[in-house]
Structure formats: structure tokens, C-alpha cells
Amino acid sequence: MTRLESAAHSSAAQHPAGNHSPVVDAHLVVDRGAFRLDLALTLSAGEVVALVGPNGAGKSTVLRALAGLLPLHDGHIDLAGERVDEPGIGDSGAGLPRATRPRAGRFVPAERRPIGVVFQDYLLFPHLSALDNVAFGPRCRGVRKRDARDEAARWLARVGLTEYAHRRPRQLSGGQAQRVALARALAVRPALLLLDEPLAALDARTRLDTRAQLRQHLTAHQGATLLVTHDPLDALVLADRLLVVEDGRLVQQGDPAEVAARPRTEYVASLVGLNLYRGQADGHTVTLADGPVLTVADQVHGAVFVAFPPSSVTLSQIKPGDEGNTWPVRVTGVEPYGDNLRVRLTGMQPGPADSPTTIRPHVDVGHPADAPATGQLAADVSPAVVARLDLRTGARLWAMIDPATTRAYPAR
């Protein structure tokens, strides 16, 4: 058995697919100036988890802490059964009760953690061939040059790049460089694979192909994978589970379809393209903050979220009779959205001349921290409708929502 195989076997033995102990068990507490990351995280073998969140939410901080590039200020990281980070506590514990006595710190440096990382810009060594870039990981772990190169050649074959083995990174396309970076990360058979926006640098067409290939490689990877992405499609296509981080905290997690169908914050709703409101439900009636009442398809009670797609909002210049779910709105913007246009509306303004007194389609029922912004509404319409309704910024009209397209679910 080569040293590489032996290293791989010992690493695999730490995270066998059938072993139920998680590959990652962590409580990450990191302070960066005024920002604090405080997040508990568990990843199982074979699981692909996408970490999503707005800019500055703490996604890179999570990745850097797990990779050993940023030490924790509190909490712990267990990787493949080994504690790799746990800050020490205090210097002197004389006379303190046992539970509060000082604890020796522990920090395993990046190169000794069982991880592989694909950075957003790949960070391939420009002076090394694709083969030597991939062999670099095993070499760093003490594998003999020849064995490392054999292993690298096998990984390049897996990602379909055998004939590019002797090219330097600058002679590769973006998609090829991405695959070399992936092969390099996987060649050490990591217990944990970290992917930082792995498709962000690619053009749309290459991205599509590379995403499909990446999915195959992630399926074959026996360790856990944590993927940071801004692209909802990456998250939905590649991940088994989504973690949504906002302001250093975990605000929602679950199966991608479940998260997409039942967003719990404004960020998640916008990520998956839904309108989202909070209210108090009684059967099919949901009273939104400030009084407006929405009829919904689901029968629910208590504090709820109501979500519906922009495509289910109908716009009209004249008030559509006495039908429910109708609000006066004002256009705040129109932008292309696929073959249609997305019309941004606010319901906080008085409607057209015959509008009832200020009706507000929404919101904040005592949860200011994560409640969606008040009064915003998105509607998707065809270009013909935009022209017919003369939907310029500032235009006033009526918005109707079909109850059958709504989803209402408990807010807690």
C-alpha cells in the first residue's frame, strides 16, 4: 500500500459512510471587529450542505474557521472525530470550581486538518502543471513524488483532463482550471471538502456544464461537503441541505425544497423569488400588521408566514370590484426577469383616487429582527402587460393575489 493509500485509508476510516458520528461537529464563535459569528454546525458523511446568506453574513468566516485559517474565540471544532480547535480558557484556575478551571487550548493548523478547499479563484500554482498542482496536496501529506503524481493522474482522469495534465494554469480555460482545483482538493481524500463559490468565476454556459459535473463528483465524495454560494441554483441543485446565515447567526436550515417553499426571512424569500409576509392567522384568514386581511389557501392559526410567487400577482389600473386580496400599490421599479419583467411595488402608499384609506399589505408582528420589510411586493408580468398598463416608476394601480397561490405556515 502506498503512503497515499495508507493516508487515504486512515482518513476514510475516520469518516466511513456507515458511521453515524458526524464528520463535523462544531460550535463556531469568532469575533471580527464588531461582527460576531456564533453558529452551531453538524455535517454528516456524504452530505452536501450549502451555506447561503447576504454579503457580510459570515459565510467566509465559517469556511476559514473550519479550514484552520482563522482561530475560534470560543466554541469548538471536531473534524472526523478529532478536536481541531478549542480556545483555552484563562491562565490560572487555582481555587476555582472544577467546571470553571482553565482549559488548555487546542489548535490544529490548516495543513494537518483532513480537509480539501476549492477557493473562488482556485489559487492554482501558476508555475506548476495541472498534474503537479493536483499532486501538491498528497505531497504535502508526505506521499512520495511518484505515488502523488500517479494519484494526481487518476484524479485528472476522473475530471476528464488527462490530456491537459502538463498544461500550466494559464493555458487552461476557466472550467478546466476549476476542475483541476476540485481534483487537487479531492486528491487528499478529505473528510471535509470546502467549496467557496466554486462556480462564480465561470461564464453562464460553462457554469451550467461544470455544475452538472460538480454534482457527480460531490455525489461520489464520501466525506462531507460545505459549499458557500450566492447562486440559489447552485444551492438548490448541489445541496442536500441549506444553512442560511444572517448577521453571524443561523436563521433557517433544511431541505432546499422545504426552505424554498417556506422561507422564514426576507433574504431567503428574495433568494427563491417569493413574496413573504408575517401575520396572525385564523383559519383561511391572515391579518397582516396594520390591519389588512389576506385570504389564504391553507387553514392555519396563530403567528404565520404567508408566501406567494410574483407570478401570482395580477395588476390592474381599475379597482377589481369587491374581491378580497386586493391592494392599492405604487410602482417603485421594473427590471428584466427571464422572459418577463419583475415589477417592484410598494403597498405603503395610498392607492389610486378611488382607493380605500391606507391599506398596508403587511407586516411586522412583533419580530423586528427577522421580519420582512414592510409593504414591498413583487409582481412578474409580460412585456405586453408593462406596455399596456404603462408601468413606469410612480404609477399607481391595484394588485390582486389569488388565494390558491399562497402558502401559509407557522412562524415559530
Ligand X SMILES: Nc1ncnc2c1ncn2[C@@H]1O[C@H](COP(=O)(O)OP(=O)(O)OP(=O)(O)O)[C@@H](O)[C@H]1O
Task: Verify binding: residue 242, ligand X, rule CB under 6 A.
Answer: no
Closest CB 61 distance from ligand X, rounded Å: 3
Closest CB 233 distance from ligand X, rounded Å: 17
The type of residue at 185 is A
Instruction: For residues 378 and 284, give the distance between their C-alpha atoms in angstroms, rounded to a whole number.
Output: 22
Closest CB 36 distance from ligand X, rounded Å: 9
| Sole binder of ligand X in the list 7, 15, 46, 59 (CB under 6 A) | 59
Task: Verify binding: residue 199, ligand X, rule CB under 6 A.
Answer: no
What are the cell numbers at 80? 472526523
Closest CB 39 distance from ligand X, rounded Å: 11
Closest CB 53 distance from ligand X, rounded Å: 5
Task: Verify binding: residue 32, ligand X, rule CB under 6 A.
Answer: yes
Q: Give 305's contacts (C-beta < 8 A, 6+ positions apart).
A: 262, 263, 264, 276, 277, 278, 408, 409, 410, 411
- Residue 28 vs 224, nearer CB to ligand X: 28
The CA distances from residue 47 to 191, 255, 263, 381, in Å, are 11, 12, 22, 38
Candidate ranges 28-36, 139-147, 233-241, 264-272; the one touching ligand X (CB under 6 A):
28-36
In contact, 70 and 78? CB cutoff 8 Å = no
The CA distances from residue 186 to 218, 230, 354, 362, in Å, are 10, 23, 64, 48
Closest CB 120 distance from ligand X, rounded Å: 9
Other beta carbons within 10 Å of 81: 15
- Residue 33 vs 126, nearer CB to ligand X: 33
Query: 3-class DSSP state for residue 34?
Result: coil
Query: 3-class DSSP state for residue 408?
Result: strand
- Residue 143 vs 228, nearer CB to ligand X: 228
Closest CB 15 distance from ligand X, rounded Å: 26
Task: Verify binding: residue 289, ligand X, rule CB under 6 A.
Answer: no
What are the cell numbers at 330? 405604487
Instruction: For residues 289 and 368, give the distance between their C-alpha atoms in angstroms, rounded to a whole number.
Output: 12
> Phi and psi (nearest 5°) for 203?
-75, 165
- Residue 33 vs 366, nearer CB to ligand X: 33
Task: Verify binding: residue 53, ligand X, rule CB under 6 A.
Answer: yes
Task: Verify binding: residue 198, ligand X, rule CB under 6 A.
Answer: no
Candidate ranges 57-65, 212-220, 318-326, 379-387; the one touching ligand X (CB under 6 A):
57-65
Task: Verify binding: residue 56, ligand X, rule CB under 6 A.
Answer: yes
What are the cell numbers at 370? 427577522
Task: Verify binding: residue 41, ligand X, rule CB under 6 A.
Answer: no
Task: Verify binding: residue 57, ligand X, rule CB under 6 A.
Answer: yes
Q: Give 337's contacts (C-beta < 8 A, 6+ positions apart).
A: 310, 380
Task: Verify binding: residue 270, ligand X, rule CB under 6 A.
Answer: no
| Sole binder of ligand X in the list 2, 21, 42, 60 (CB under 6 A) | 60
- Binding to ligand X (CB under 6 A) within 61-90 occurs at 61
Closest CB 37 distance from ligand X, rounded Å: 7
Choose among 173, 167, 190: nearest CA to 118: 190
Task: Verify binding: residue 55, ligand X, rule CB under 6 A.
Answer: yes
Choose among 247, 266, 261: nearest CA to 372: 266
Candidate ranges 32-40, 141-149, 361-369, 381-389; the one touching ligand X (CB under 6 A):
32-40
Other beta carbons within 10 Å of 67: 18
In contact, 123 and 107? CB cutoff 8 Å = no
Judged by the rule CB under 6 A, the positions of this chain that interact with ligand X are 32-33, 35, 53, 55-61
